[in-house]
Structure 1
Amino acid sequence: MDEVKGKNSQIFCLTWVKRGVAKLEPDQVILTPEELKLVMKNEKLQDIEEDADSEEDENDDRKIVIKVGPEKSHSDEEDLQEYGLENYDDEKGDFTTGISGLVMFADNDADPYITKKSKSDSNINSDSEDESAEKSAVQLKPDDNLLVCARCGQHSSVLEVYVYNHKSGDFYVHHDIPLLETPLCMQWVGFDPGAENMNSGNLLAVGNFNGTIDIWDLDVLNSLEPVASIGKGKVSKQRRKIDFRHADAILDIAWTDVVHDQLASASADTVIALWDLELGKATRVFRDHKNKVQTLAWMPKSDKHLLSGAFDGNIIMTDTLEIRTVAQWTIDGEVERITWNNENSKYFVASCDSGFAFYCDVRKPTEFIHKWKAHEGAIPGLFLNQSDSKNNSCLLQTASSDGLVKLWDLNFDKPKLVHEKDMKMGMVHCCEGNPDENSVVAFGGQKGQVRLWDLAKISETAKYFDLPEQVNNINSDVTLISPISGDGEEDDEVLKYIQGEDYIKPNKINKFSKQNGNHPNGSGDSKKKKRKRKKKTSANQSIQNKKSLI
C-alpha cells in the first residue's frame, strides 16, 4: 500500500465516539502461521465462488453453448498447490511482502524479524517489559474520547483513530486501519449483533465509493478486514433473487439510537435505503429524489422521520414507517449538509454549494425562518451546539470550502455572526462536535489535517457554555489543538497561528499507527516551499474534492 502523506491526502469525513463506549484494553488480531494459511485459502475460495455467482448472474437471460475439451478435475487443495503453502513454515525468503506483513505472530520465536531471543533461547514471557509497554500504549482511560477520520490519498485510504482527553489535553493517533475502498462518509454505530448486549457495540459504518458499506469494530486492533460488508447484492442460488444494492457511491449514512439495528444510506444513484444491521440486508428503499442524495439525518428521538437533501436542491422529510413524504423544501443550489436542532426537533439547518444557509421549521414546509449568505464557497460542514441551560441561545457553526469557520447566533431577527476563523487547512470538508464536551469541535480539511477547536476558550462564545471560570484571561487566537506530525513539528505558518499558553501540543503518537515515524499530517515540504505556497487552492488541488469522485 502506498504511503499516505499529508500533502497528498484530505479528510472528507470524521466522527466521535462517546466516553465509556470503547474497551479500555482493545482486542488484538493475532494469527498463527496455520491460521494465516487458512485465511489465504478461504479468501481464494471466496473469490472463486463470487466469480462463479457473477458469471451465473450475467448469463441468466442468455442461452450460450460452449464446446470444451476433456474436463480436468481439480480439488481445492490442488488449486492452492501453486502457492506452496505446505512449505510455508520452511521458507527463508523475503518476508516483507504479502499478507503476513500485516499480522502479529503468536510468539516472538515465530517472528522472522526478531533475531535476538531471550537468554534461555525460549519464548519471551508475556509479562516482559516490552509487552507491558505495548499493553500500556494501547490502554484507554475512562474519560477518553475517540475521534475517527478517513484520510483519502491519491492511491490509498486509511482510517485514523485518535484519542482525545479533555482533562489532560492529550490528542494523538491510537491506531489506524488501511482501507481497500475509497471512503466518502462514516457513522458511529452503537449496535453489535454478536455481543451479549447488542446495544453496547462500538462499530463504525463506512460508506464507500463503490456503493458498499463496511462495518469495522473499533475495539479490535490490526484488523485485516471489516466485520461485515453490506450492500454487495449477492445472488441467492435458491431463489435466484438479487438482494438490493446501491448502483453508485454512498454519499452519506445515518444511525439513530432509537432504532439500534437500523442504518440509513444515501447514494449518488438517487436512492435512500434502510438496512437491517443484523441481517445485513435492505428492508426498505425510497426513490422520492430525482438527483444524487448527498446528505441525510434522523430527527432526534424519532424512529421514523428521516430528512434528506439532494443535488437538485430538494430537501425531503420522509416517514419511513408509512413510506410517504411528510414535507418538502427547495433551495437554490446543491444541498451540501443538513443538521437538526437537538434541543428542539422542530427546527433544522441546511446549507448549499453557493454559500447560503437556511434555518427551517418542519411545521412550515416550503418556507424558511432564515436565509442568509454565510460564505463565499460551499458549506459542507454544519454543527449546532447544544445551548447552555442558563442561556437559550442557539450557536451554529458553518465550515466552508473558502477555508473559514463561522459561528452564528440564530436567536435574533436574522442570524448574528459571533466569531469567524481561518482554519489554515485549505478547504474545510467536515466538522462534528464532541458528544461529551459541548464546546469542543473537530474539523477535517483539504490539507490532510485534523484540528480541534474549544469554543469555551473564545471570549465571544464562552457565554454560550456553562463554563464561567474559563471566561477570564481568554485569547481567541490560541484555541486550536492539532496532532503533531511524525517529526514532531508543525508548519511554521500553523504554529504561529495556534501556538500560545493555551495551546496543548500532543506528547505521543502510538506505535500501533502504521504511519509512525512519518505521520500523514507531515507534508514533507521544505519550509521555503511552504512559505511560497499560495493560499488560494489551484484547480489541480480542487479536483480531489469529494464531488470530483462522484
Structure 2
Amino acid sequence: MKTVITCLQWIRRGVAKAEPDKVVLSKEQLQSLIKCTKGQLDDLEKDEVDKSEDDEDMLTSDNENGAQEETEDGDLVQYDMNKYDQATSSSSSGITDTLAGLAIYAADEDDPYITLKDAGSDTEADDIAIKSTDNILVVGRAEEDYSNLEIYVYNEEGGVFYVHHDLLLSSYPLALEWIQGSTSGNMIAVGSMSPVIELWDLDLIDAIEPAFTLGQPKSKKKKTKTEKKEKKPKNGHAGAVLDLSSNRNFNHILASASADETIALWDLATTQVASTLRHHKDKVQTIEWHANEGHTLLSGGFDKIVNLYDCRDPDASCNSWNLNGEIERVLWNPSNTNTFLASTEDGFVYNLDVRLEKPVFTLKAHEKAVTGLALTSETHNCLTTVSADHFVKIWDITDDKPSLIISKDMKMGIMNCLGNNPDAPTVLAMGGENDGVRLLDLRTMPEVSKRFNLRTITKSVPDVSSNSIVSMEEEGDNVEVMERKPKKMNKSHQKEGKKKKKKKKGTNF
C-alpha cells in the first residue's frame, strides 16, 4: 500500500503538556458512536448492493443464453449461481449488527475480560510523557484508503525520534500550521481536500474529532446556474485548503489559501472570516505572514503571480511579481526582512526584494517543481531545497550569488515538504511519496559545516521510516546514507540520561 507524506510542521520545545490527556468516553457516548458508525457502514453496504444488482442485471442480459444452457445441463443448478452475489450481500449485512457488542466499556476496569487491571499503568505513563527538551513534529500521512496525523517526539540530545500518537483524519491532508501562542491549547490546524479547516488538540491522545473547525463542508444540494457562476465564497472556502499560516504578531489570526482562488483571514476567537483576499485568478498554493509586520502577507498561486498584501486594507491593490511558472512555495528571509524566496513548478527559485520590481537573482535549482524551501537564522546564507525530481540540495547564496554545495537523491520519490526545527535550526525534516519521514542535520555534512562555520558533529539523526538511524557523510560532492542499528524506544526517554554510557571524546551520540 502506497504511503505519501503530504505535509509536516515542527512545534517548539516546552509547548506540549508533560503528561498529555487521554480521551475517556462514557458508555452513552460509546453507544452513540457505535450507532453512528453502524449507520455509515449500512449506507456503504447499501450502495454496494445497489451497484452489484445493476452489474448483475447487465451481465444477465448479456449472458442469458449461456446461463440457460448451464441450467439445462444441470451441472450448476445446485449452487444457484445466479443469486450468488445477492446471497453474499445479504449475509454481509449482519456484520454491522455485531458492532453493538464490541466496545461497550468506557474503561478497562469495567471490562470483565480484562483481568490485569493495574499492570503496566506506570509504564504507560512513562511512554506518553514528554520532556521540556522535546520537539514535536506533526506529519500528514495519506494511505490508499485513509489519512492521519502522526505526532512524533524528537529529542536532539538523546537522538530520540518516534511516533507518540496519531489522529485519524476525515480528508486527505494538504497543509499544517501550529497555532502560535494559542490560548486554547496546543493546537494544529489542518488544511485538506475539504473546504473545512480542522483544529486538533495535540495534548489530547485518542481524540476522535477535532477540537473545532473553521468553515462549512460542501453542500450536496445541486447548485443552480447562478450559484455555479459565483465561485468565490462569502464566508470560508468553497474548495480545498492548500496552505495555512499563523500570524506571529496576532495569535488569533490564521490565513488560509484555497483552490477557490481566495485567501481567508480567520479570527480564531470567533471562528469566523474577518476578511477575504481575492487578488488571484487561479488556485492559491502558498502563503506566509511576515515575521515582524503583522499586517504583511505573501501569497503565490497557479496564476504564476506572487502578491504582497497590506491586510489593514484587504481591498486595496497590492504589489505583484509575475514569474514564469506556477508558484509552489514562498518564504521570507529571516536574515533580511525585505527579501523573500519563491519557488516554481518548473524548478526555479527566485530571490525577490519588496522594494524592487525584478528578482535579485534567479536560480535553476531543480529539473521539476521545487516543493520545499528552508532558510535558518543560524545559517544565514544556507538554502535547502527539495523537489519533485527526488533530490535535496544545499546552496550557498552569499552575496546573492548561489552556488551548489551538495546534491543528493534521497530515494524518497517525489519530495513534498521540508521544514527546519525552530530550536535546532540545522535539523530539517523532509517527507515524500516513499520511505516516510527523514531528518537531516546539516552539521553532519563536513563541507556544509566548514562553509558556514557550523559546529561539526558525527551524531546521527533517526529515520523512522526504515527503522534505522541515518548518518549523512560527505565524500567530495556526494552524500552517502549509512544504515546503523536503531535506538530502542519502547520506554520513556526521560530515564535515558541515567543509563547513558560514558561519551567518547569528540562525539555527541
Structure-2 residue corresponding to 1:13: 7
Q: Are the aligned partners of 2:38 and 2:99 in contact in 1 as well (CA < 8 Å)?
A: no
Structure-2 residue corresponding to 1:164: 154
- Residue 177 of structure 2 is aligned with which of 187, 190, 194? 187
**In structure 2, what is the Cα distance between the partners aligned to 1:247 and 1:383?**
30
Structure-1 residue corresponding to 2:111: 111
Q: Give 1:166 shift.
A: 0.3
- Residue 481 of structure 1 is aligned with which of 458, 462, 482? 462
Gaps of 5+ in 1: 1-6, 46-92, 119-123, 195-200, 236-241, 512-550
What is the root-mean-square deviation in Å for CA atoms of aligned residues? Answer: 3.0
After superposition, the Cα gap between the structure-2 partners of 1:354 and 1:281, relative to the gap in structure 1 and judged at 3 Å, is same
State the SS of the aligned residue for 1:351.
strand
Q: Are the aligned partners of 2:349 and 2:363 in contact in 1 as well (CA < 8 Å)?
A: yes
Structure-2 residue corresponding to 1:508: 489
Structure-1 residue corresponding to 2:267: 276
For residues 110-189 of structure 1, what are the structure 2 equivalents within 5 Å? 110-111=110-111, 115-117=113-115, 124=117, 128-189=118-179
Q: Supply the AA of the counterpart residue of 1:350.
A: A
**In structure 1, what is the Cα distance between the partners aligned to 2:447 and 2:97?**
57
**In structure 2, what is the Cα distance between the partners aligned to 1:12 and 1:284?**
28
Q: Give 1:193 shift.
A: 4.7
- Residue 194 of structure 2 is aligned with which of 194, 197, 210? 210
Structure-2 residue corresponding to 1:244: 235
- Residue 338 of structure 1 is aligned with which of 325, 330, 343? 330
After superposition, the Cα gap between the structure-2 partners of 1:216 and 1:464, relative to the gap in structure 1 and judged at 3 Å, is farther
Q: Are the aligned partners of 1:8 and 1:448 in contact in 2 as well (CA < 8 Å)?
A: no
For residues 18-417 of structure 1, what are the structure 2 equivalents within 5 Å? 18-37=12-31, 97=99, 105-111=105-111, 115-117=113-115, 124=117, 128-194=118-184, 201-232=185-216, 244-323=235-314, 324-364=316-356, 366-388=357-379, 393-417=380-404
**In structure 2, what is the Cα distance between the partners aligned to 1:260 and 1:41?**
39
State the SS of the aligned residue for 1:134.
helix
Q: Supply the AA of the counterpart residue of 1:8.
A: K
Q: Give 1:326 shift.
A: 3.5
State the SS of the aligned residue for 1:460.
helix
**In structure 2, what is the Cα distance between the partners aligned to 1:99 and 1:310?**
51
**In structure 1, what is the Cα distance between the partners aligned to 2:174 and 2:102?**
29
Q: Supply the AA of the counterpart residue of 1:107.
A: A
TM-score by length of 1: 0.70
**In structure 1, what is the Cα distance between the partners aligned to 2:98 and 2:394?**
50
Q: Are the aligned partners of 2:195 and 2:217 in contact in 1 as well (CA < 8 Å)?
A: no
Structure-1 residue corresponding to 2:439: 452
Q: Are the aligned partners of 1:480 and 1:498 in contact in 2 as well (CA < 8 Å)?
A: no
Q: Give 1:32 shift.
A: 2.4
Query: Which of these two proteins has the greater Rg computed from alpha carbons?
Result: 2
Q: Give 1:332 shift.
A: 0.5
Structure-1 residue corresponding to 2:422: 435
Q: Are the aligned partners of 1:291 and 1:312 in contact in 2 as well (CA < 8 Å)?
A: yes
**In structure 2, what is the Cα distance between the partners aligned to 1:481 and 1:233?**
39
Q: Are the aligned partners of 1:455 and 1:479 in contact in 2 as well (CA < 8 Å)?
A: no
**In structure 2, what is the Cα distance between the partners aligned to 1:203 and 1:20?**
14
Structure-2 residue corresponding to 1:543: none
**In structure 1, what is the Cα distance between the partners aligned to 2:189 and 2:385?**
24
| Alpha-carbon displacement from aligned partner over 1:124-183 (angstroms, at most 9, x marks no partner) | 4xxx34111111110011101110101012211010001111000011111011111111
**In structure 2, what is the Cα distance between the partners aligned to 1:442 and 1:377?**
20
Q: Are the aligned partners of 2:248 and 2:291 in contact in 1 as well (CA < 8 Å)?
A: no
Q: Are the aligned partners of 2:34 and 2:100 in contact in 1 as well (CA < 8 Å)?
A: no
| Alpha-carbon displacement from aligned partner over 1:378-432 (angstroms, at most 9, x marks no partner) | 10111112235xxxx4111110011111111111352111212211101111000
**In structure 1, what is the Cα distance between the partners aligned to 2:490 and 2:428?**
21
State the SS of the aligned residue for 1:162.
strand
Q: Are the aligned partners of 1:265 and 1:273 in contact in 2 as well (CA < 8 Å)?
A: yes
**In structure 2, what is the Cα distance between the partners aligned to 1:509 and 1:286?**
48
Q: Are the aligned partners of 2:108 and 2:114 in contact in 1 as well (CA < 8 Å)?
A: no
Q: Give 1:98 shift.
A: 7.2
Q: Supply the AA of the counterpart residue of 1:483.
A: V
Structure-2 residue corresponding to 1:198: none
**In structure 2, what is the Cα distance between the partners aligned to 1:100 and 1:483?**
33
Q: Which has the higher contact order (CA 8 A, sep 6+)?
A: 1
Q: Give 1:445 shift.
A: 0.3
Q: Are the aligned partners of 2:38 and 2:96 in contact in 1 as well (CA < 8 Å)?
A: no
State the SS of the aligned residue for 2:328.
strand
Gaps of 5+ in 2: 40-94, 220-232, 471-478, 493-509
Q: Are the aligned partners of 1:233 and 1:244 in contact in 2 as well (CA < 8 Å)?
A: no
| Alpha-carbon displacement from aligned partner over 1:288-340 (angstroms, at most 9, x marks no partner) | 01111000000111111000001121000011112223411111010011111
State the SS of the aligned residue for 1:499.
strand
After superposition, the Cα gap between the structure-2 partners of 1:410 and 1:288, relative to the gap in structure 1 and judged at 3 Å, is same
State the SS of the aligned residue for 1:332.
coil
Taking every aligned residue pair, what percent have the same amino acid on both sides?
37
After superposition, the Cα gap between the structure-2 partners of 1:27 and 1:243, relative to the gap in structure 1 and judged at 3 Å, is farther
Q: Are the aligned partners of 1:191 and 1:203 in contact in 2 as well (CA < 8 Å)?
A: no
After superposition, the Cα gap between the structure-2 partners of 1:9 and 1:43, relative to the gap in structure 1 and judged at 3 Å, is closer
Structure-2 residue corresponding to 1:536: none
Q: Give 1:110 shift.
A: 2.3
Q: Segments of 4+ in structure 1 off by > 6 A? A: 40-45, 93-96
Q: Give 1:464 shift.
A: 6.0
**In structure 1, what is the Cα distance between the partners aligned to 2:465 and 2:312?**
47
Q: Give 1:206 shift.
A: 0.2
Q: Are the aligned partners of 1:174 and 1:509 in contact in 2 as well (CA < 8 Å)?
A: no
Number of aligned pairs? 415
Q: Supply the AA of the counterpart residue of 2:244.
A: I
**In structure 2, what is the Cα distance between the partners aligned to 1:173 and 1:332?**
40
Q: Are the aligned partners of 2:34 and 2:99 in contact in 1 as well (CA < 8 Å)?
A: no
| Alpha-carbon displacement from aligned partner over 1:233-269 (angstroms, at most 9, x marks no partner) | 799xxxxxx9612111111010022110010010111
State the SS of the aligned residue for 1:269.
coil
After superposition, the Cα gap between the structure-2 partners of 1:134 and 1:387, relative to the gap in structure 1 and judged at 3 Å, is closer
